[in-house]
Amino acid sequence: MNPLLLLILIPALTMAGIMLAGDVKQARVISAVGMSAQLLFSFVLLYWFYQLRQSGNTDEMVFVSTTVWYPSLNIQLKFGIDGISMSMIMLTSIVTFAGVFVSWQVEYLTKEFFISLILLATGVFGFFISLDLFTMFLFYEVAVIPMYLLIGIWGSGPKEYSAMKLTLMLMGGSALLLVGLLGIYFNSAANGGPLTFDLMQIAKNGLPREAQMFFFPFTFIGFGILGALFPFHTWSPDGHASAPTAVSMLHAGVLMKLGGYGCFRVAMYLMPEAAHAMAWFFIILTTVSVVYGAFGAIWQKDLKYINAYSSVSHCGLVLFALLMMNETATTGALLQMISHGLMTALFFALIGMIYGRTHTRMIDEMGGLMKVIPFVSVLYVFAGLASLGLPGLSGFVAEMTIFVGSFQNVDTFHRVATIVACSSIVITAVYILRVVGILLLGPVRNNHYLELKDAMWFEKLGGVTLLVSIMIIGIAPLWLSNLLREPLAAMLNQLTN
């Protein structure tokens, strides 16, 4: 059996276990055990991956297995990973692990909550290991649907509106995507042979230029919506604001990465000519995203809105760097995906902890939290510093790789775009320090807060897991950078020729 299938099987078994669980406590423990096993298995997989590479295996994809699923349309269950998907799997399992622990205290419909949460994660895992466009799309939808339920049922505020908005906008993206994918499918045999959804096969065959020019925008925008591409990002602030903590974590931390991953692996990789021809337009959009999101964040008062806008800015940087289409910038984009995934998950976890205690997310209603809940506050400062790109934390590594990489494009247009994007490091510092100053420092403004309890063990576990991951990347980035870079040479070769 393909070991990758375990990535789907473990969550499936966990869900079955939760269903059989007698009470809330058992459900929690089963989820925790399941996701710990998943995390552990990701490490094992990473080890196997390195072993394969060390033994001289230089295949583009490893652990490949193919099963024809629906012969008349040539749909296959084709799985396989390379360095990029490997690191995305690591990211997903870390964030899911932390998410389960942060949701420890969910009281309402606990079993259903954990099942939906893990189902969402399963969709993401499936997406990252799929090499068949149809299966990929299938898993993508598997991830989006539970999101609707999670926000609609366990959310807060105008949750029905937000859940509906988020789902509809993402579904709109899916619709565009479906058009794009079918377009790719029906042009996949331009040089003879059967039509196929097989990613690697399509890349090898190549698509005709006219088809690329027509279907690239559909695919890129379809995935781009998920990656919070300006101006299709507004589901993000509302959606996050209403979503329960773990859902925000998974969503911003992992699901939004599907967008960037898809933009690169499907849209750009399969349609390189169109990508080249249209890059300028999307570079403008993403440059706007980067700066616009950062400026938008300055004016917000709700913690989740601040983080949502900050995500628009940071995810804008991901697409921005991908469109630069050189090895360094692309490595930076992938690093940024992982870095942003971890730190934004940490942010949302902490916001959840703060909200759970103070019952507000408005920064001007709080103040001086450092004194009353130091553990949460210190983690928040760390997350903030990672977000504003402090060396030693992951954000710096990613951003610098992006900026240096983008600057390698010599023409004035790319240079100016890079410098504009660089300026976000200052604006980010402004809004992060503003929040830290108002929320955590200063005198305690509300006397009720003096009695707040600091983080519980499960919250500490979730938060520290994320922080440690951020620090490992920040302090020793070389291994990850090499892991991501390894498959890029071949892919970029495809893109630049």
Q: Nearest distance from residue 39's CB to other proteins, in Å?
A: 24
What tokens appear for 271 in the block?
């349609």
Q: Nearest distance from residue 331's CB to other proteins, in Å?
A: 8
Of 80-88, 297-305, 313-321, 357-365, the window that binds other proteins (rule: CB under 8 A) is: 297-305
Touching other proteins, residues 222-261 (CB under 8 A): 230-231, 233-235, 238
The answer to whether 333 touches 321, Cβ cutoff 8 Å, is: yes
For other proteins, the closer CB: 17 or 239: 239
Q: Is 477 in the site for other proteins (CB under 8 A)?
A: yes
For other proteins, the closer CB: 79 or 403: 403
The answer to whether 331 touches 406, Cβ cutoff 8 Å, is: no
Residue from the set 41, 105, 165, 458 that interacts with other proteins by CB under 8 A: 165
Q: Taking the CB of residue 290, how many other CB atoms lie within 10 A of it? A: 27
Residue from the set 168, 362, 468, 490 that interacts with other proteins by CB under 8 A: 168
Of 112-120, 124-132, 200-208, 381-389, the window that binds other proteins (rule: CB under 8 A) is: 381-389
Q: Is 382 in the site for other proteins (CB under 8 A)?
A: no
For other proteins, the closer CB: 99 or 222: 222
From the list 401, 412, 377, 415, the residue with the least C-alpha distance to 474 is 401
Q: Nearest distance from residue 67's CB to other proteins, in Å?
A: 39
**Rounded CA separation 46/63 (Å):** 12
Whole-angstrom distance between the N-terminal and C-terminal Cα of the chain?
37
Residue 324, C-beta contacts closer than 8 angstroms, at least 6 positions apart: 283, 330, 402, 405, 406, 408, 409, 414
Q: Nearest distance from residue 45's CB to other proteins, in Å?
A: 24
Q: Nearest distance from residue 363's CB to other proteins, in Å?
A: 13
* Residue entry with tokens 């329960």: 244
Of 122-130, 289-297, 358-366, 454-462, the window that binds other proteins (rule: CB under 8 A) is: 289-297
Q: Is 20 in the site for other proteins (CB under 8 A)?
A: no
What tokens appear for 391 in the block?
């060396």
Q: How far is CA 35 from CA 8, 243, 343, 429, in A?
A: 11, 21, 19, 34
Residue from the set 300, 330, 344, 394 that interacts with other proteins by CB under 8 A: 300
Q: Nearest distance from residue 143's CB to other proteins, in Å?
A: 21
- Secondary structure (DSSP) of 230-250: TTS-THHHHHHHHS-HHHHHH
Touching other proteins, residues 178-197 (CB under 8 A): none
Q: Is 157 in the site for other proteins (CB under 8 A)?
A: no
Q: Is 452 in the site for other proteins (CB under 8 A)?
A: no
For other proteins, the closer CB: 118 or 177: 177
Q: How far is CA 356 from CA 47, 245, 325, 329, 353, in A?
A: 38, 10, 43, 39, 5
Number of residues that bind other proteins (CB under 8 A): 53
**Rounded CA separation 263/160 (Å):** 29
Residue 481, C-beta contacts closer than 8 angstroms, at least 6 positions apart: 331, 335, 397, 401
Beta bridge partners of 66: 78
Q: Is 328 in the site for other proteins (CB under 8 A)?
A: yes
For other proteins, the closer CB: 57 or 423: 423
Q: Is 174 in the site for other proteins (CB under 8 A)?
A: no
206 class by beta-carbon count within 10 Å (0-12 exposed, 13-18 middle, 19+ buried):
middle
Q: Is 460 in the site for other proteins (CB under 8 A)?
A: no
**Rounded CA separation 30/44 (Å):** 21
**Rounded CA separation 402/240 (Å):** 27
From the list 416, 395, 405, the residue with the least C-alpha distance to 314 is 395
Q: Nearest distance from residue 481's CB to other proteins, in Å?
A: 6
For other proteins, the closer CB: 249 or 427: 427
For other proteins, the closer CB: 15 or 427: 427
What string marks each residue from 56 to 85 as x (binds other proteins by CB under 8 A) or -?
------------------------------
For other proteins, the closer CB: 71 or 231: 231
Q: Taking the CB of residue 457, how many other CB atoms lie within 10 A of it? A: 9
Beta bridge partners of 362: 302
Touching other proteins, residues 385-444 (CB under 8 A): 385, 388-392, 396-397, 400-401, 403-405, 407-408, 418-419, 422-423, 425-426, 429-430, 433-434, 437, 440-443
From the list 320, 464, 297, 480, the residue with the least C-alpha distance to 387 is 297
Interface residues with other proteins (CB under 8 A)? 165, 168-169, 230-231, 233-235, 238, 292, 295-296, 298-300, 327-328, 368, 370-371, 385, 388-392, 396-397, 400-401, 403-405, 407-408, 418-419, 422-423, 425-426, 429-430, 433-434, 437, 440-443, 477-478, 481
